[in-house]
A and B are shown apart, each in its own frame.
Chain A
Amino acid sequence: KQEVTQIPAALSVPEGENLVLNCSFTDSAIYNLQWFRQDPGKGLTSLLLIQSSQREQTSGRLNASLDKSSGRSTLYIAASQPGDSATYLCAVTSSGDKLTFGTGTRLAVRP
């Protein structure tokens, strides 16, 4: 059974800092990996989707990488801003299976 882990559970950084969020998964047979953002009391917003054949995806200040063989993905946020404060979730779609979510990293960016 696929399991997705995100460490740390919470992170606080000063504005302007570059940061990395980590996601690991136990079964490397995945179709893709997605990173989502969740604001308090709101639904999830998809940030980046990396197909299993890809190594990374970029959108603005966000860069997500995927290393299938080691079961890891990272989300890099450049020049963090207070507006980036949210919970970040990663989720994997495994072969013949559904979307498995991690429990998220709660990010606070201090002005």
Chain B
Amino acid sequence: NAGVTQTPKFRILKIGQSMTLQCTQDMNHNYMYWYRQDPGMGLKLIYYSVGAGITDKGEVPNGYNVSRSTTEDFPLRLELAAPSQTSVYFCASSYGLFTDTQYFGPGTRLTVL
């Protein structure tokens, strides 16, 4: 039981490039989330999903896209990377929506230069 896994662990992008952050969970959770954590700031919710085929915006969705084709996978797409997207990105999943314990992946550290 691996829990929540994320790839890659580190990535450096040039301004304007695109990439996809991968997230997979093996706990059969319906609910999955993407957060970003900036230095000295609390985690901010980017997008979340309540099940395959259903996603919704969080607090800071601009510049990102998501899809959820399976229960296990919830990739985050960055289009036209900007320096403001330099951050650590965490994927999480839970049994219940927001009101239940969330299980986090190890994070992806992204730098946009």
Q: Which residues of A contact B (CB under 8 A)?
A: 4, 31-32, 34, 36, 41-46, 49, 89, 91, 93, 97-104
Within 8 A of A (CB), among B63-113: 90, 92, 98-107
A99's partner among B45, B105, B106 (CB-CB below 8 A) is B45
Chain B: interface residue total (CB-CB under 8 A): 21
Centre residue among A42, A91, A99, A102 by max chain B CB count within 10 A: A99
For A4, give the chain B residue with the smallest CB separation: B42
A24 to chain B, nearest CB (A): 13
- A46 and B103 contact, CB distance less than 8 A: yes
Q: Which residues of the partner chain B approach A98 to less than 8 Å between Cβ atoms? A: 45, 48, 58-59, 98
19 contacts between A and B (CB under 8 A): A4-B42, A31-B98, A31-B99, A32-B99, A36-B104, A42-B107, A43-B105, A43-B107, A46-B102, A46-B103, A49-B100, A49-B101, A93-B98, A93-B99, A98-B45, A98-B58, A98-B59, A98-B98, A103-B42
